[in-house]
């Protein structure tokens, strides 16, 4: 062992710098610190467990400044919510019971805000004891102020007197839960130091372990998110050289590493969602600059999910085809496009309209979000062919030929008993779209319309939001032969995140969307696939329900071992290749 006298600091310094260029990047774990008697403190078990698991601990002190909280989250790859004093019952709408213990007034607001912000940003979270309780409260769950006085059932002693490095009772873990997979067991002894506990799990969370008396001992995400809370103190065991709780910390480091990789990838690549219907909510006084609960795509959610761009469409419900109705449809399309442009102008420091692929990359370089314009339903042009050029001139990059129901252009995948295909006028429309550089979008088109369009179009076509019928038999989805046909022409199909197009037997999850993507990749190749969420048009699935959760899709793609280049192609690269080809042909 080296003494101070024999410690060669220059040699150690040189060795350090020899290793520096190739040092291993460790995920940064933000750990909430405890504040009492004028001092910030952290029990050694927390940072020792993180270090031993391969993470870099960063203490987050109690702080009332929201900007500091947000900036703290930008620096970390995971969060460890630590134990400590009771949570103030005023934070969950109750008055204090007599049995309430000491409250730390410095921690509650900060940790509630930190947790909500972290969840919005998909940051992996492990909550321990009070940290689990705060996690549950922040997401809308309930809490016992005191299990001994507020529960009618016989209650075990949950605050042991023995050394913290030893267990005092067993817990039963739900089979097939995340916790069971992490600890590789369904029954395990734990230590116990609490009298508050989770009463009911918050929405999006489920109970995954209970004590013999029924007190909840663990909660975890039901939405394929990296969120886990445990009531005991697993960090104490390592101080006695007992590693049987280390899998919990290895899980946090693993999830944080995945999240870090996804963040780094999103910094380098452009992420484009090719279809959203947010303008459908314009009549509800939405605020695109806020985190608006009425919509799934806004500036906050795009920032949280690290999404660079989306194609917002002017959606038109298929109605009558009288001259008066057609004129009204055209006017409505113009009005919606005007409203999109107005919304962007009101937030011009953060977002701008993009008209070409190069615009998208320029805006990303400038740190801005981008919106492209689309039209959903060729009903918008009425019977006036000149509207194609006019809409293209104002920036519309694609138009679906129809929606649910036949129009004057073609027959739809829905409500088309006569199996109508492309009309004579529709053939003119497709050729005019080719001429002006507007992409032909075959989402919603019937099979006859689909194949006839491929024969007519001189340019590759796209399906901005369609999935695979071989996996989910829905008329809006594409058969394997349709997928092959669009790929042969050089086109692209974007997996739609609408639950009904992914599963027919239960609500769809992010794993189901990955299954559709896998099927398409295996069938037609990575060069012909992408993602079109259909957010705000009924799109949104468990695990990827709005723009803030888009990074979860990237994490899944990394888990499935898609390469950086392949993920870039999926996240808009393929779609933009077709857009560039279509626009170039019109120049």
Q: Residue 425 — very low, low, confident or very high, per pLDDT cuts 50/70/90?
A: very high
Q: Give yes or no for residue 248 having a pLDDT over 80.
A: yes
Show Cβ contacts of residue 564 under 8 Å, excluding neighbours closer than 6 positions.
Answer: 265, 268, 269
Q: Under a CB-based contact definition with an 8 Å cutoff, are residues 128 and 82 in contact? A: yes
So which residues are the catalytic ones? 129, 233, 235
- Supply the DSSP symbol for 452: H
Q: Report the pLDDT averaged over residues 407-427.
A: 93
Q: Residue 6 — very low, low, confident or very high, per pLDDT cuts 50/70/90?
A: low
Show Cβ contacts of residue 131 under 8 Å, excluding neighbours closer than 6 positions.
Answer: 32, 80, 81, 82, 83, 111, 229
Q: Give yes or no for residue 22 having a pLDDT over 90.
A: no
Residue 66: per-residue pLDDT: 85
Q: Give yes or no for residue 338 having a pLDDT over 90.
A: yes
**Span of 11-25, 109-123, 303-317, 350-364 with lowest mean pLDDT:** 11-25
Q: Residue 23 — very low, low, confident or very high, per pLDDT cuts 50/70/90?
A: low
Residue 92: per-residue pLDDT: 87
Q: Residue 51 — very low, low, confident or very high, per pLDDT cuts 50/70/90?
A: very high
Q: Give yes or no for residue 1 having a pLDDT over 50.
A: no
Residue 17: per-residue pLDDT: 65
Torsion sign, CA atoms 375, 376, 378, 380:
negative
Q: Report the pLDDT averaged over residues 86-102.
A: 92
Average pLDDT, the chain: 95
**Residue 483 exposure: Cα atoms within 13 Å on the Cβ side:** 30
Q: Give yes or no for residue 3 having a pLDDT over 70.
A: no
Question: In whole angstroms, how far apart are CA 236 and each of 242, 254, 531, 562?
Answer: 9, 21, 44, 38
- Supply the DSSP symbol for 549: G
Percent of the chain with pLDDT over 90: 88
- Supply the DSSP symbol for 193: B
Residue 5: per-residue pLDDT: 54
Percent of the chain with pLDDT over 70: 97
Q: Give yes or no for residue 278 having a pLDDT over 50.
A: yes
HEC assignment per residue over 72-104: HHHHCCEEEECCCCECCHHHHCCCCCCCCCCEC
Q: Report the pLDDT averaged over residues 537-558.
A: 98
Q: Residue 56 — very low, low, confident or very high, per pLDDT cuts 50/70/90?
A: very high
**Span of 20-24, 187-191, 485-489, 511-515 with lowest mean pLDDT:** 20-24
Residue 104: per-residue pLDDT: 84
Q: Give yes or no for residue 4 having a pLDDT over 60.
A: no
State the pTM of this model.
Answer: 0.94
Q: Report the pLDDT averaged over residues 269-273.
A: 98
Q: How far is C-alpha 86 from the geometric centre of its chain's CA atoms?
A: 32
Q: Under a CB-based contact definition with an 8 Å cutoff, are residues 445 and 402 in contact? A: yes
């Amino acid at each position: 062992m080296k003494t101070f006298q024999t410690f060669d600091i220059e040699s150690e310094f040189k060795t350090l710098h020899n290793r520096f260029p190739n040092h291993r990047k460790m995920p940064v774990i933000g750990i909430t610190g405890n504040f009492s008697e004028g001092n910030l403190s952290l029990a050694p078990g927390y940072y020792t467990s993180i270090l031993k698991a391969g993470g870099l601990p960063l203490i987050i002190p109690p702080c009332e400044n929201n900007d500091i909280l947000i900036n703290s989250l930008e620096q970390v790859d995971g969060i460890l919510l630590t134990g400590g004093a009771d949570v103030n019952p005023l934070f969950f709408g109750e008055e204090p019971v007599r049995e309430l213990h000491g409250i730390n007034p410095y921690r509650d607001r900060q940790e509630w805000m930190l947790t909500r912000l972290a969840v919005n940003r998909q940051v992996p979270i492990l909550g321990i004891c009070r940290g689990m309780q705060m996690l549950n409260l922040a997401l809308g769950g309930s809490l016992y102020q005191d299990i001994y006085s507020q529960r009618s059932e016989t209650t075990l002693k949950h605050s042991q007197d023995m050394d913290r490095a030893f267990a005092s009772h067993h817990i039963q873990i739900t089979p097939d839960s995340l916790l069971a997979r992490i600890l590789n067991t369904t029954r395990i002894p734990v230590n116990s130091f609490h009298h508050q506990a989770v009463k009911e799990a918050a929405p999006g969370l489920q109970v995954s372990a209970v004590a013999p008396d029924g007190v909840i001992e663990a909660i975890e995400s039901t939405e394929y998110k990296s969120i886990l809370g445990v009531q005991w103190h697993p960090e104490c065991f390592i101080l006695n050289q007992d590693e049987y709780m280390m899998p919990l910390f290895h899980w946090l480091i693993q999830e944080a590493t995945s999240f870090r990789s996804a963040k780094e990838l999103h910094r380098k690549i452009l992420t484009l969602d090719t279809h959203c219907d947010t303008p459908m909510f314009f009549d509800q006084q939405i605020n695109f600059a806020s985190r608006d609960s009425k919509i799934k795509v806004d500036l906050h959610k795009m920032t949280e999910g690290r999404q660079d761009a989306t194609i917002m469409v002017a959606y038109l419900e298929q109605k009558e085809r009288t001259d008066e109705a057609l004129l009204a449809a055209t006017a409505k399309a113009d009005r919606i496009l005007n409203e999109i442009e107005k919304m962007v102008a009101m937030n011009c420091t953060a977002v701008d309209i993009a008209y070409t692929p190069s615009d998208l990359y320029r805006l990303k370089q400038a740190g801005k979000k981008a919106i492209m314009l689309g039209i959903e339903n060729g009903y918008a042009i009425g019977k006036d062919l000149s509207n194609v050029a006019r809409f293209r001139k104002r920036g519309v990059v694609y138009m679906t030929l129809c929606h649910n129901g036949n129009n004057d252009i073609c027959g739809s995948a829905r409500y088309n008993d006569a199996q109508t295909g492309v009309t004579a006028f529709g053939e003119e429309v497709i050729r005019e779209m080719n001429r002006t550089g507007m992409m032909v979008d075959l989402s919603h088109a019937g099979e006859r319309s689909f194949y006839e369009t491929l024969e007519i179009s001189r340019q590759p076509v796209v399906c901005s939001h369609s999935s695979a019928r071989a996996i989910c038999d829905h008329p809006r989805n594409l058969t394997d032969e349709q997928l092959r046909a669009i790929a042969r022409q050089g086109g692209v199909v974007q997996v739609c995140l609408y639950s009904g197009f992914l599963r027919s037997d239960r609500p769809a999850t992010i794993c189901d969307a990955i299954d559709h993507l896998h099927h398409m990749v295996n069938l037609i190749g990575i060069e012909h696939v992408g993602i079109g969420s259909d957010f705000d048009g009924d799109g949104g699935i468990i695990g990827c329900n709005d723009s803030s959760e888009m990074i979860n899709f990237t994490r899944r793609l990394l888990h499935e071992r898609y390469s950086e280049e392949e993920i870039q192609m999926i996240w808009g690269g393929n779609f933009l290749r077709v857009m560039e080809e279509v626009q170039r042909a019109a120049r």
